[in-house]
Amino acid sequence: MQSLVAAGFRSGHVALQNGMTDAELFEYVFGGDNTLLALSFVINIALAGITILGIAYLGRNLTDPRSKAIATVLMLISVVSISSYTGLASGLTLSVLEMPAGHPAAGATTAGENGVLTMWGRYLTWTFSTPFILIALGMIAGSNWTKILTSSAFTIAMCVTGLAAALTTSSLVLRWWWFVLGSIFFLVIVYVILVDWTAEAKRAGTGDLFRTLKFLTVVGWFGYPILWALGVEGFAILDVAVTSWGYSLLDIVTKYIVTFVAMSYVVEEPDTITGGTDYGASISGPTTPDD
Ligand code: RET
């Protein structure tokens, strides 16, 4: 068993690390020559922290279980985000990978090692953060759990294929094939937001709020595949620091701004948001108040 685990770690090391340890990657980011890259991580750690505290403060007087559920889901977006950026900043979820033949960055070097810096932790952690964004949006639109969970499953599939695209070093065609698959999954999510949830939000009375959230989300989310394609993973037109800032800025819009826009509506606990004291109860009959 132990040797199996050791073998797993060894192969993980070969697949994800091109000879650079986490400590060397950390030194590469924070050593002084890559201040811009380091800042793109640190600023988001701070913003995620502020957002978590902001939600706790704004939501301190919530009483309705459904309003509380939405506030909790919104908080979880930033809980994932602060962990994600800590992983990137520590070097744990960064790797230097050699691109396959034909890739514009094939043969590039990073800190003396063959390969380019890949922030694969981003794609991995979007797998956990994007479902919370969709759960919050779906609940605000008053959608049903089938649609909310379907869109969540598709976003997980999209992020995992994005991760696979970034980590595939065997073939350029397969990198882009993963990207195409992820893009198809993305279109399912866009359809649910633009068609189903837009209509449902109107019926639920949250149409105005949903229009703002939909705009920030759909426009912002399209930025990610564009950045992937223009950045080091794709055509390598943008360098690593610019790509990283691009993602960090998109994250500010799609997570923190979306969160505060939604939260400022939820705290008022309007009828369009509340679900009544029984909402989400796991047992019928009177429940013990939790505060
Ligand atoms: C990838 C590559 C594969 C094709 C597509 C992508 C889309 C990514 C998106 C990410 C959104 C992330 C957010 C994170 C917040 O924490 C994976 C780049 C379509 C839409 C909102």
261-271 per-position pLDDT tens digit:
999 999 999 99
* Residue to probe by mutation, ligand 1, list 186, 192, 213, 256, most atoms within 8 Å of CB: 186
**Closest-lying ligand 1 atom to the alpha carbon of residue 221:** 20
Per-residue pLDDT band at 177 (split at 50, 70, 90): very high
Report whether residue 72 contacts ligand 1, using a CB cutoff of 6 Å. Answer: no
Q: In the predicted model, what is the mean pLDDT of residues 81-107? A: 95
Query: Does 255 sit in the ligand 1 pocket, CB within 6 Å?
Result: yes
pTM over 0.85: yes
Centre of ligand 1 from the C-alpha of residue 63, in Å:
34
Choose between 282 and 191: higher pLDDT: 191
Q: What is the pLDDT of residue 10?
A: 53
Mean pLDDT over residues 103-123, rounded? 92
- Residue 129 CB–ligand 1 contact under 6 Å: yes
pLDDT digits (tens, 9 = 90+) for 18-69: 668 888 899 888 887 889 999 999 999 999 999 999 999 999 999 999 999 9
Ligand 1 atom closest to 179 (CA): 3
CATH of domain 14-266: 1.20.1070.10
Q: Half-sphere exposure (CA, 13 Å, Cβ side) for 166?
A: 28
> How much distance in Å is there from the Cα of 225 to the middle of ligand 1?
6
| Domain range list for the chain | 14-266
Atom of ligand 1 nearest to the CA of 185: 19
CA nearest ligand 1 atom 19, residue: 183
